[in-house]
Amino acid sequence: MGKGHKLAVVGLGGLGHMGVKFGKALGAEVTVLSTSPGKKEAAIQLGADHFIISREEAEMKAAFKTFDFVLDTVSGNSDVNPYLAVLKSNGIYVNVGMPGKPWEVSSFSLATGNKVIAGSGAGGLPETQQMLDFCAEHDIVSDIELIDIKDIHTAYDRMQKGDVRYRFVIDMKTL
């Protein structure tokens, strides 16, 4: 992925906001696909070039066969077929979100577009070091909200409601 490629990042949470930053650093044109219209401003501030409300059928139809890559960062259960539809022929769909239920994928969508579905988990030490070096070179950091350990239950409730931008980090100095 790099200059001249179009990347769609599905979800703008803890992984998604990093996907936007990595995509931009690699030189891709980045679009965030989200069910939450209220995340548009945040997506643009993070560097996204475009924002699509994935629940809006007209917006998704306009994006049909637009992207070289789709990075799915959503951990909740969702229908991936609309996201496969926005991939160009020979496009690559990468899942890092780990939803709880298996997907139902249209084999027609894959075969007619020669599309690839891939997954990615955590890498080993060499890959982690390479990623950290890339982050240092491109000034990429995770956006976090520092919380006190006494606020852990409130933070958990907020996380369940999707009210996190983008990761909670517990301040262990207060122990």
- Which pLDDT score, from 0 to 100, does residue 50 have? 97
- For residue 93, the cross-strand partners are 70, 117
- Which pLDDT score, from 0 to 100, does residue 58 have? 96
- Which pLDDT score, from 0 to 100, does residue 42 have? 94
- Which pLDDT score, from 0 to 100, does residue 160 have? 84
- Which pLDDT score, from 0 to 100, does residue 174 have? 67
- Which pLDDT score, from 0 to 100, does residue 29 have? 98
Could you give the residue ranges of the DSSP H alpha helices within the chain? 16-25, 40-46, 57-62, 81-85, 107-113, 125-138, 152-160
Instruction: Write b or e for each residue in 15-28: b if 16 or more Cβ atoms lie within 10 A of its Cβ, otherwise e.
Output: bbbbbbbbbbbbeb
Decide if 35 contacts 52 (C-beta within 8 A). no
CA-based nearest residue to 20, from 37, 38, 39, 35: 39
Domains along the sequence of the chain with CATH: 6-119 (3.40.50.720), 143-175 (no CATH)
- Which pLDDT score, from 0 to 100, does residue 175 have? 65
CA-based nearest residue to 104, from 78, 130, 67: 78
pLDDT profile of the chain (175 residues), mean per 10: 95 93 97 94 96 95 96 89 94 90 86 87 86 95 92 91 86 78
The two three-digit tokens of residue 77, written as one number? 């259960």
DSSP state of 63: T
- Which pLDDT score, from 0 to 100, does residue 68 have? 97
Q: What is the pTM of this model?
A: 0.90
